[in-house]
Structure 1
């Protein structure tokens, strides 16, 4: 970031303060809050869930992506308190379906209550248990897939396995979004951090996979410095 973008009339500005201000500016104009979304965040906070949900503008991005794709079936891996789930479920047409996989039963209870308050409990279903155990059961269900859109935002150690399962449950044209893949830039070097190792493993696996066409966008904002991966399943 050059100095001209880091300064205001009062002198140098901390980059995180600037990122927060830009997010606030954008959200006030383009991402109006409503009871369903703010209620989900409040319920998560009251239950003591970690404050790691996607930012409002990122949730809106997921919503627009699902709507633009015309997604009817969405699979989310990592529910937390259901904030991103609400954004995604709201993009689905009548008859659409969203399945979200969450490791923690406590987190799932908070998410289910928030989805019900938002009027989305008939569209969105939260299943609990380790995703690598839940995914094979899901794949075995008649009519479970294919899914049009996948949002992966769970434990980073298993990112490569989650992408592999998304590919199995996809169709040509399906999109796979993986959050938190830049890790503050740490992915550029080998690391002892399991989240970084798992993310680097995912990048290597996707680079070798001829059925996926992918890129990554770096992001800054209220969530700090990170990024997401977007992959399209090829014919």
Structure 2
């Protein structure tokens, strides 16, 4: 028995992957190519991708949103977990990394499930709302510029159905949420969203120590 989450040594992390991770070859190749890029630190951990896919399956999700797609690993994990009629609106602004994503989505046969929108995510989310899509999405993953996390959260919450789930990435920020000397805009935004979600009566939440910290927020019924 343990009364707190245990620390993971490298050996224990390897054990975790060996006894849990079931990563398709196409996802592994995408992760390996992403690791060669200058911004590879933006890649989510493979066990986090698998965890998100499990959440999508548990939700019975068919309509998803992703804010921040990078090279497409998380969108691929979710798309593979969706039923044939499932769809993801994937928001990003970087055409170069999106081109990497599209290659792997096509190889995996899920490109028709992913609606890539190359535009500022706030504009895309507002357009979905203007199109009458409030309350019609099942799952949203937020992993983009931290200064806009609050806007992404509020817009995603409007787009989600009651019982839908938002997952917000990087909420432990490498431990720097505790470093009071860190007063840059990204760190302040992450602290603010953690405080907001934890006290938000519109959701039930849990901060999960996976990857760089994942805040889960389930939208309550009205």
TM category (shorter chain) comes to: 0.7 to 0.9
Are 1:181 and 2:166 matched, yes or no? no
Q: Distance in 2 between matches of 1:205 and 1:193?
A: 18
SS in 2 for 1:171: strand
Shift of 1:21: 2.5
Corresponding residue for residue 3 of structure 2: none
* 64, 79, 90: which one aligns with 2:80: 90
> Would the aligned equivalents of 2:49 and 2:74 in 1 still touch at CA under 8 Å?
yes
SS in 2 for 1:42: helix
Q: Distance in 1 between matches of 2:46 and 2:9?
A: 14
Structure 1 residues 134, 192: CA separation in 2 closer, same or farther (over 3 Å shift)?
same
Between 23-32 and 109-118, the greater mean CA deviation after superposition: 23-32
SS in 2 for 1:229: strand
TM score, norm. by length of structure 1: 0.82
SS in 2 for 1:231: strand
Shift of 1:189: 5.6
Q: Distance in 1 between matches of 2:201 and 2:118?
A: 32
Corresponding residue for residue 76 of structure 1: 66
Corresponding residue for residue 103 of structure 1: 93
Kindly report the root-mean-square deviation, in angstroms, between the aligned alpha carbons of the 2 structures: 2.2
Q: Distance in 2 between matches of 1:20 and 1:84?
A: 23
> Would the aligned equivalents of 1:63 and 1:87 in 2 still touch at CA under 8 Å?
yes
Determine which structure has more spread, i.e. the larger CA radius of gyration: 1
Structure 1 residues 52, 210: CA separation in 2 closer, same or farther (over 3 Å shift)?
same
Corresponding residue for residue 194 of structure 2: 203
SS in 2 for 1:172: strand
Corresponding residue for residue 25 of structure 2: 35
> Would the aligned equivalents of 1:41 and 1:83 in 2 still touch at CA under 8 Å?
yes
Deviation string 1:89-127 (CA, Å, 9 cap, x unpaired) is: 111112111111112111111111111111110111221
> Would the aligned equivalents of 1:104 and 1:128 in 2 still touch at CA under 8 Å?
yes
The total of aligned residue pairs comes to: 215
TM score, norm. by length of structure 2: 0.87
Are 1:141 and 2:127 matched, yes or no? no
> Would the aligned equivalents of 2:139 and 2:166 in 1 still touch at CA under 8 Å?
yes
Q: Distance in 2 between matches of 1:207 and 1:42?
A: 35
> Would the aligned equivalents of 2:140 and 2:165 in 1 still touch at CA under 8 Å?
yes
SS in 2 for 1:90: helix
Q: Distance in 1 between matches of 2:29 and 2:178?
A: 38
Deviation string 1:120-149 (CA, Å, 9 cap, x unpaired) is: 101112211221222212222355761101
Q: Distance in 2 between matches of 1:169 and 1:21?
A: 41
SS in 1 for 2:115: strand
Shift of 1:45: 4.2
